[in-house]
Structure 1
Amino acid sequence: MRIDPATPLANLTRRMQRQTAEAGGAPVEDWRDSARVSLSAASRNLSARAREQDGNKDIDESGLPSSVRDLLKMIRELKAQIAEKQAQLQALMSDAGMDPEARRLKLEALRNEISTLNGALTSATANLTKISRESDLSKEQMQQVSTLLVS
C-alpha cells in the first residue's frame, strides 16, 4: 500500500518521523536513511554473556593448531552475527508501525544476510572438519574442538 505524498496523513507521518529524528539527535536530512532496531532482552543478555566470556580466550589457550583455532574463532563470530541478524529480524517482524512494503524489503534483505551467513558457517565448519582430519589431532584434541565448537 502506498500513501500519496500529498495526503494529510502522509504529511503528518513525515512530520512525526522528522520530530522523532530531531529528538534522537539525528540531523533532519538523515532521518530517512536510518532505521532503529531494538534487540529483545534475551538477545541483549546473550550478547552481554558473550562479552563476559572474555572473547576467545578459551580457544587461544586450547593448544590446538593455529589453523584450527582461527576457524573456531571464525565460526563463533559467524554464529554471533547470525544471532544478531535473527534478533533484528524478530524486532522488524514485530514493528507494526512500519510501512508494509518497507518492512517486506527489509525482511527480505535480512533473510538474505542470514542465508549468506549460514552458508559461510557451513563452509567454515566443513573446513574445520577437513583441517582437523588432516592435522592428525588426537582423540582428546578432537573432543576439545567439538567442545569449543558448541560453546
Structure 2
Amino acid sequence: MGISDLIASFLQDSLDTAENGVLEVQRSELAQRFNCVPSQINYVMSTRFSPERGYIVESRRGGNGYIRITRVQVDRQTLMMHVINSLGSSVDLASARAILSNLVQSGALERDMGQTILTAVGDKALSRVPRESRDAVRADILRQVLILQV
C-alpha cells in the first residue's frame, strides 16, 4: 500500500467516525504523521476527496492552516445536477470513470447504466475523434447523457 493509499485510508476512517461527516485536520500534522511533504497531502485531497467523489474540501494555508473535509449527503437529483454543473469543458477518461463510479456507489445511477455510459465515453467509442478533441467530446457526451438521467 502506497503512502497516498495510507493517507486516504486514515482520512476516510477518521471521516467515518467524525461528527456530521465533517473532518478538520492540520496539513502539517498529517505530513508529519505520515513522514511526507505537505504536497503529498494536497495530492490525496485533490484525487481522493474531490466533489466528483462526494466531498467538499476547504483549505486554509499558513501557520494555523487546516483542511476541512465534508462528506456531501444529498438526494439523487441534487447530486446529479452538482456533477453536471461541475463538468468542465473537457473530461479525461480517468475522471469520467471516477465520476460514474461515485454516482453508482451513491445509488444515483444503476451499475448497468454507469457501465453503458462509461463505454459510450471511452477511448474505443471515441477512436475516430482526434486525440486532442476527445476529452472535450467526452465531456459533452457525459453531460448530455447525465442530463437525460435527471
- Is this a same-fold pair by TM over 0.5? no
What is the TM-score normalised by the length of structure 2? 0.25
The structure with higher relative contact order (CA 8 Å, sep 6+) is 1
Bigger radius of gyration among the two: 1
Task: Compare the two structures and name the one with the higher helix fraction.
Answer: 1
Task: Compare the two structures and name the one with the higher strand fraction.
Answer: 2
What is the TM-score normalised by the length of structure 1? 0.25
